[in-house]
Amino acid sequence: MIKLIITCALSGAEVTKAQNPAVPYTLQEYQQEAAAAIKEGASILHVHARYDDGTPTQDAKRYQEIISAIRQVSQAVIIQVSTGGAIGMTREERLAPLVLNPEMATLDCGTLNFGGDDIFVNTENDIIHFAAKMHERHIAYELECFDKGHVDLALRCYRKGLIRAPLHFSFVLGVVGGMTGETRDFHFLRESIPEDATYSVAGIGRYEFSLAECAILSGGHVRVGLEDNLYLEKGVLAQSNAELVRKVRMMASRVGRDIATPDEARQLLKLGYNHGKSQ
């Protein structure tokens, strides 16, 4: 079986230290959390920027500070910036960190109700615009899909040449307003993408490890981290992102699946191959 790519979502934009003190805000905290997660096997770090008081931001300068802090502990790890930002941010605000030319960024593929009056807006034109900006800078994207319709929209854009191969999907399951994180939901999305596409799953909250197991056994990849889930097990707060990464690594080890290094992850995802080029 191919090696497992573990992505670690360090902080998110919404979770807080009040919910779990390990959520990083400061540069030192980002650096420490990154170093420990990498040591446990994370080859991709999914980064949302926060200021020292926890306020989420898409400010390119703050992203640069965080990335520089991470690079002090690892030159090899793949850094994947978020273009999701936080609810209420404009299109251009969300795109701001792309000026740093990160190796990889997320591309959200549909609108979602987050509960109450909160709506995470990603129109078809937003998606086309974001993809075009990433093409211009040769930035690889991860296609974040919270629902089956998001997969369908991404594939429609792909057929039109607006989204380009290689296709790497992230199934984000268990979010309020999106698909739940049952095994049937995972398999439904996995069976809806082209055979030559790669995929990762991010289970939110209680779905994190059950879906990780599905992906490990199915030949897919896994995202964990404090952005998605604050608990190591029911009622037990995770002490760090590294604990969540370690748990997935151990799950993979039990079924004989090795963990990909950053360079092996680049090969598996064909990073740098065809993004920003005409098909």
What ranges do the domains of the chain cover?
6-269
In this prediction the pTM is: 0.95
> How much is the average pLDDT of 230-243?
97
Please say whether the beta carbons of 219 and 206 come within 8 A. Answer: no
Q: Is the pLDDT of residue 277 over 50?
A: no
Residue 279: per-residue pLDDT? 30
Secondary structure of residue 80 in the 3-state scheme: strand
Strand, coil or helix: what is 255? coil
Q: With 50 as the cut, is the pLDDT of residue 2 above it? A: yes
Omega into 166 within 30° of 0, i.e. cis?
Answer: yes
Task: Work out the mean pLDDT of the chain and round it to a whole number.
Answer: 95
Give per-residue pLDDT as tens, 23-74. 999 999 999 999 999 999 999 999 999 999 999 999 999 999 999 999 999 9
| CATH 3.20.20.70 assigned to 6-269 | yes
CA distance 183 to 109: 21
115 vs 266 pLDDT, higher one? 266
For residue 192, CA distances in Å to 154, 162, 164, 171, 238 come to 11, 19, 17, 11, 33
6's CB contacts (< 8 A; 6+ apart) are: 41, 42, 43, 44, 221, 222, 223, 224, 245, 248, 249, 259, 260
